Structure 1
Amino acid sequence: MLVPVPPAARARLRPLFEGFPGLHGIIDSVLEGVLGQAWADSASNPRVAHLALDFNMIAGDPQAPLAADALRSLPAGEHLAVREAWEDLLVAVRGTVQPYERIDFEQPLRWDRARLAELQGGLPAGFIPERITEESVAAFEALAESLIYNFASPEDFLARGVGFGVRYRGKFVSGCSSFAISSRSLEFEIQTHPRYQRRGLALVTGARMIEHCLDHGLTPCWDAAHEGSARLAERVGFGARRPYTAYRL
């Protein structure tokens, strides 16, 4: 059975996740102890580790004595990412799993600041961009709970996270937030109301968030679950696609 690893001891787990196929901003946040939970077979000399923040990531040695237990402990219906070396053990332990493709992205050689500014100038008349504040966070959450639900409360989101939205007639219709954040990176979450999709609103909030990352020394991280998200990442300037396999248990 894996044991919980407190935030102060999670740096020892980082080598197990070097070169992980995706979810890099989430991994950084959990390893730094900002958000999420972590377990390992040993806090002092880990061979297997499990990180969780709305998604499960297991890494290390699939031949380790507790590797199978780590996979067995996950509830049905959860989502999981592992390296290819774990796939045979995953199938052996869990039986039928549902693989699907996610897409990680390389960082561009250089972010085009002029292009990011240009994208933010494309809002239709009546649509107003703004950064999320104490006065607006409740309305921002009303657009989509996923924009802030990894944080303990709206106040916690304002203290440790960041969000940008677009309003129309007083209501947020599109938003980009820190799904996960650390001193190293920021994992993107973007939501647009179905009625207002395909108007360039997500491009505006995504470009503004990239600017925020660059201004604060953070690596922007985008992990796409579908083709529409992948195309949006490319339009705001992310580099080559790096597809990988994730699993629904």
Structure 2
Amino acid sequence: MIEFPTQSYPSLPPLKDVPIFTGFARAVLEGVSGGRVWRDGGAAHALHDYGMSLVWGEGVDHAFPALIDHLNAGAYRVRDEWLQVDPRWAHLDWDGKLRAERFHRVNFRFNRAVFESRYAAHAVPPGWTVRPLIEAAYDLSDVHVTPCAFWKDFAAFQDHGGGMMAEKDGDVGAMAFAATRFDDWLEIGIETREAFRGQGLARAVAVAMIRKCLGSGLTPVWACRQENTGSLHLAQSLGFEIEKVVPFWRLER
């Protein structure tokens, strides 16, 4: 596999041909977020700085041995990698050849009518305020993921959709934010701090973020690991309907 500079997407296989959600890969290819890209003939591999990756292209079958060697060696890897594969090549022996654990990723489609029927009015938990996410919450140290994992700086984050947070007595309990944003859609990321779980904060900030999207003429997008039952059930309660379930693999650092 030969490494390409980011923002070299015109010379790579087109992502539009991949029948799953590929926002994080597009962010890498277009230089919106940090990451790396490799190619072997008609196959490509994009790795987002956060650890998500995608293999795609019309020549994945021909490049399969080189891809497997590249992925299993993982010399480039600084953290665990979560690999998705273009579904057109799902029949190849990924499970047999990869030194990786298999999971499943759910892609949802948003049903606005369901959301509006359920959340015409939605109360914020007592004592909490939901408001736009501020720079001090852009990179919290005690959560799994924050917006800084997806954007080069706070200004870029704000320009591409920003976020909403739940705050009480100066503490941020939960946030919903733009993870990727292209064209007329915005992928939502969500995080609740451990000390504040079980109070309905994730739902409150998610509702606020969805309303923010709709008010800007954007379609909210949600995707999560199927094994993350909390995210899965929250998405469905918000009007997101399962569109595709595809395998993906965790390649350890």
TM-score interval for Structure 1 and Structure 2 normalised by the shorter chain? 0.7 to 0.9
Deviation at 1:237, TM superposition (A): 1.2
Preserved CA contact (<8 Å) 1:26 1:187? no
Cα RMSD of the aligned pairs, angstroms, is: 2.9
Task: Give the equivalent residue in structure 2 for 1:21.
Answer: 20
Deviation at 1:195, TM superposition (A): 3.0
Matches of residues 7-156 of structure 1 in structure 2 within 5 Å?
7=7, 9-11=8-10, 13=12, 15-22=14-21, 24-37=22-35, 39-41=37-39, 47-53=42-48, 54=50, 55-60=52-57, 61-64=59-62, 66-74=63-71, 75=74, 77-84=80-87, 85-86=89-90, 88-91=92-95, 93-94=97-98, 96-108=99-111, 110=113, 112-113=115-116, 115-119=118-122, 122-134=123-135, 136-137=136-137, 141-142=140-141, 144=143, 146-148=145-147, 149-156=149-156
With structure 2 as the length reference, what TM-score do the two structures score? 0.79
The structure-2 alpha-carbon separation of the partners of 1:14 and 1:63, relative to structure 1 and needing over 3 Å to count, comes to closer
| 1:105-158: CA deviation from partner (whole Å, max 9, x where unpaired) | 123264644644423xx2222101110234x435x6245362122223445434
Amino acid at match of 2:94: L
| 1:165-186: CA deviation from partner (whole Å, max 9, x where unpaired) | 0012210001111222233432
Deviation at 1:208, TM superposition (A): 1.6
The whole-number CA distance in structure 2 between the counterparts of 1:216 and 1:111 is 19
Deviation at 1:209, TM superposition (A): 1.5
Amino acid at match of 2:219: T
User: Hey, which of these two has a bigger chunk of strand by percent?
Assistant: 2
Deviation at 1:241, TM superposition (A): 4.8
The whole-number CA distance in structure 2 between the counterparts of 1:28 and 1:103 is 18
Question: SS in structure 1 opposite 2:246?
Answer: strand
Task: Give the equivalent residue in structure 1 for 2:176.
Answer: 176
Task: Give the equivalent residue in structure 2 for 1:242.
Answer: 244
Deviation at 1:101, TM superposition (A): 1.7
The structure-2 alpha-carbon separation of the partners of 1:93 and 1:114, relative to structure 1 and needing over 3 Å to count, comes to closer
User: Hey, which of these two has a bigger chunk of helix by percent?
Assistant: 1
Task: Give the equivalent residue in structure 2 for 1:228.
Answer: 230
The whole-number CA distance in structure 1 between the counterparts of 2:233 and 2:248 is 19
The whole-number CA distance in structure 1 between the counterparts of 2:164 and 2:241 is 23
> Unaligned stretches of 5+ in structure 1?
none
| 1:64-86: CA deviation from partner (whole Å, max 9, x where unpaired) | 3x443334323274210113524
Q: How many residues align?
A: 238
Matches of residues 151-162 of structure 1 in structure 2 within 5 Å?
151-162=151-162
The whole-number CA distance in structure 1 between the counterparts of 2:168 and 2:157 is 23
| 1:18-49: CA deviation from partner (whole Å, max 9, x where unpaired) | 34334x3323433443224353537xxx6112
The whole-number CA distance in structure 2 between the counterparts of 1:210 and 1:14 is 32
The structure-2 alpha-carbon separation of the partners of 1:232 and 1:112, relative to structure 1 and needing over 3 Å to count, comes to closer
Preserved CA contact (<8 Å) 1:117 1:207? no
The whole-number CA distance in structure 2 between the counterparts of 1:152 and 1:105 is 26
